[in-house]
Structure 1
Amino acid sequence: MSACLALAIFTVAFILIATEKVHRVAVVLTAAGLMALLGFVPGHDVFFSEHAGIDWNVIFLLLGMMVIVGIIKQTGVFEYLGIWAAKRSRGRPYRLMVLLMVITAIASPFLDNVTTIMLVAPVTVVVCGKLGISPAPYLIAEALASNIGGAATLIGDPPNIIIGSRAGLTFNDFLANMAPVVVVLFVLFVLLARVLFRKSFEYHPERVAEVLALDERKSITDGRLLVKCLAILAVVVAAFSLHSVMHLEPAIVALLGAGAMVLVTGVKSADYLAEVEWTTLVFFMGLFVMVGGLVETGVIHAVGSWAVDAVGDNFFAAATALLFGSAVLGAFFDNIPYVATMAPVVEDVVAQTPDAGTGRALWWAFALGADLGGNGTAVAASANVVVLGIAARHGHPISFWQFTRYGTVTTLITVVIAWGYVWLRYF
């Protein structure tokens, strides 16, 4: 009974988020409150449970990087990069989109996709403003590219960190097994973007001429401040990349970097706190508790157990179920709490495999499904939610369905190709 009621609350909340009849933050707070009030998520678990409560690693990673971005913004570097990007693309819409997607996809495996989006999205808003075009399609394309690119490494996508920890997989393991297919998927996505976003491309010759005449170097308002910020950012990036060596959670790295930048730069708190997406942070907190209700009442575990029983000892079928099942479920439940919940189930399946190679193949199928499923809907991955928040803050709101109609097509195509990769390489 409790499982059915928890599922009903989640379903109604998801429908309200999708239809945008009520603000998404109000929806998740109400749903999370109901889950706690009805005892589906005990009050203690809301704040302290690793699998059923708020994932503070994600919240504080976002907060730390938002503060860092807020301080860096004071230097004028985003406007500099915006003008530079506009000049390099000569204002051509598709060329500009590809340039921004490539930057995003290259940075995501090493910074993590959420951090990359928080750095690239402000540049996108600036360049689109200069060219007099809507940034929405470019922001959506960047979010999709970040989820694909971030799948390549252990630290590129938060679900990978969870999977790596549970399965004992290293940074190099991810690089050797995930990066090859990610490169193929990204190249195909670049070609697909030409078709997906063709109706959104705008070109205004007069605005392009104005931008080409600008001197981007004049955008830097404080060179010394920029040098300090870039030095600290470089240390933060290095710490992210050395996660498997230093054993520091990304959230700790982000908070330390934010604290160091605040101390060294002396920027006023009102300036950088104004850039923090508070509604996005609250939305995530409520979403984690909503999913926690499904975890505590056994809904997600029941789905996983059913899948395990259905495939039996056919391990290619198990890999297929993990890949497609994770893509579908991860698209609706946010892939971070979904992976945290399902990882023990996958571990049980892996324990039944005849050899280590087959077991690892199941982990890679699980990772690919969860990472690529993050493109499925507007709330399926942290990067997507952050993009929606940034777009709304700058007066260019992206609706749930506007994002999802692009994400669904991208997910379907990339997951099918990933399935072929798993079959060819491991079975």
Structure 2
Amino acid sequence: MSNWQAWAALAVFAAVYVLIVTEWVHRVAAALGGAALMLAIGATDDRAAFFSTDTGIDWNVVFLLLGMMMIVGVLRRTGVFEYLAIWSVKRARARPFRVMAMLVVITAAASALLDNVTTVLLVAPVTLLVCDRLALKAAPFLIAEVFASNIGGTATLVGDPPNIIIASRAGLTFNDFLVHLAPLAALLTVVLLGMCRFLFRDAFRYDEDRAAEVMALDERETIRDPRLLVQGLAVLALVVAGFVLHPVVHYAPSVVALLGAGLLVAVSKVEAKDALADVEWPTLAFFAGLFVMVGALIETGIIETVSEALADATGGNPLAATMTMLGGSAVLSAIVDNIPYVATMAPITADLAHTVGDTHGHVLWWALALGADLGGNATAIGASANVVVLGIAERNRQPISFWTFTRYGIPVTAATIAISALYLWLRYFALT
């Protein structure tokens, strides 16, 4: 790849990022336009963009989203989300912060068992209904849930797609993630709750009349189609089991989601066109464009150059390497989606871990996972769950701007990364 193409690819990516940040152009148009320019200048080609597992569109992510969006769309017809909305509000006594705390904890816990994208697809509709019932702005609640999903997703191998890549490259197991990262994820969830109380303090407006109306409702009356609900929940349970049993059955999450969507449409009376009507097509198109652009940065060697510089800056010192990996991954994952970033950084991390040695080499993998997963909270395009929630909010006429998300994301990311740095230092250096 020639030098001018690398610089041109960097310029295109920077220009698209500016358009997304400023919202001068809709983010879908910006991403697809950027992808087209990357192809036009030869920074990538059709084979790399559409067929490469390293530099192309991650079809596993796209089809995972498609399948889960179809399942959620069918479930929405049953009234189950209204049921959950009323149930959760009544359990929280209609107090806004208690509602947010409940949703945050549920999201974080669910993201440890499911992937975080699936979790926000299930929780976001409930959140929108809760906020509508209580006359609250949905944006703070949705943003808090995104943070919780990315934090909770760090706890397990299946919680966040980058963790799967890391586990495969480093030979780590589900229990390895559970032992090393789950305690920290639990602590960070508690910290997030405390930060939410401060960051979103203006959103906790208690409307006594609205609260009384919700408390008087019977959530059981919201179920419109009990038979479809049973079918939907049965299929969803099978899909969740497929996700959790991935190490045993070896079906990719995308395959499990598509099988579940197909099965649900087949056994229910919902027509395929109706199930597809609820799919967030603009979100899928945005992902496709973003993957092509980041793939072009990989093809031209830009990401590898940055990653190698990150590795070289450590000088072989284990603690310096760990902290540089953590901080550098957090910054870079805020700019590009963390999935292609981790795919690029994994072989470099493996080489650096070998150089550092067996005593501290494994810590670099935890630093990479934490930096990539938590760094994704910094901006609206840092992680897949962020993009999905912004798409859902826009479709429900409650758009969340790039800067609105980032204004809250940066302090949350800074705090969680700082605590993670302290955790890594104490557990693997100071107390060993």
For the criterion TM > 0.5, the same-fold answer is: yes
Matches for 1:5-404 after TM superposition, within 5 Å: 5-355=8-358, 357-404=359-406
Aligned to 1:409: 411
Aligned residues of 2:154 and 2:370 also touching (Cα < 8 A): yes
Output the TM-score relative to the length of structure 1: 0.98
Q: Distance in 2 between matches of 1:271 and 1:75?
A: 13
1:127 CA displacement = 1.1
**Matched letter for residue 83 of structure 1:** I
1:208 CA displacement = 1.0
Q: Distance in 2 between matches of 1:400 and 1:46?
A: 26
1:351 CA displacement = 2.1
How many residues of Structure 1 are paired with residues of Structure 2 in the alignment? 426
1:101 CA displacement = 0.6
- Superposed CA deviations along residues 40-59 of structure 1, whole A, max 9, x for unmatched, are 11111111111111000100
Q: Distance in 2 between matches of 1:364 and 1:63?
A: 30
Give unmatched runs, 5+ long, in structure 2: none
Q: Distance in 1 between matches of 2:233 and 2:28?
A: 34
Q: Secondary structure at the match of 2:155?
A: coil
1:247 CA displacement = 1.5
Give unmatched runs, 5+ long, in structure 1: none
**Matched letter for residue 57 of structure 1:** N
1:121 CA displacement = 0.3
- Superposed CA deviations along residues 322-351 of structure 1, whole A, max 9, x for unmatched, are 100000000000111111111111111112
Q: Secondary structure at the match of 1:151?
A: helix
- Superposed CA deviations along residues 267-310 of structure 1, whole A, max 9, x for unmatched, are 12232212100000000000001101110111110011112211
1:425 CA displacement = 1.2
Deviates more, 1:114-123 or 1:299-308: 299-308
Q: Distance in 1 between matches of 2:245 and 2:181?
A: 18
Q: Distance in 1 between matches of 2:183 and 2:385?
A: 22
- Superposed CA deviations along residues 45-94 of structure 1, whole A, max 9, x for unmatched, are 11111111100010001001000101111110000001111111122111
1:14 CA displacement = 0.5
1:204 CA displacement = 1.3
Runs of 4+ in 1 over 4 A off after TM superposition: none
1:146 CA displacement = 0.4
Q: Distance in 1 between matches of 2:260 and 2:252?
A: 13
Aligned residues of 2:317 and 2:356 also touching (Cα < 8 A): no
Q: Secondary structure at the match of 2:356?
A: coil
Q: Secondary structure at the match of 1:154?
A: coil
1:354 CA displacement = 2.0
1:239 CA displacement = 1.1
Q: Distance in 2 between matches of 1:48 and 1:384?
A: 25
Q: Distance in 2 between matches of 1:153 and 1:354?
A: 25
**Matched letter for residue 409 of structure 2:** G
Q: Distance in 1 between matches of 2:133 and 2:106?
A: 19
Q: Distance in 2 between matches of 1:316 and 1:249?
A: 35
Output the TM-score relative to the length of structure 2: 0.97
Q: Distance in 2 between matches of 1:136 and 1:165?
A: 36
Q: Distance in 2 between matches of 1:199 and 1:74?
A: 33
Q: Distance in 1 between matches of 2:357 and 2:225?
A: 61
Q: How well do the aligned residues superpose, as a CA RMSD in angstroms?
A: 0.9
Q: Distance in 1 between matches of 2:386 and 2:283?
A: 11
Q: Distance in 2 between matches of 1:322 and 1:418?
A: 12
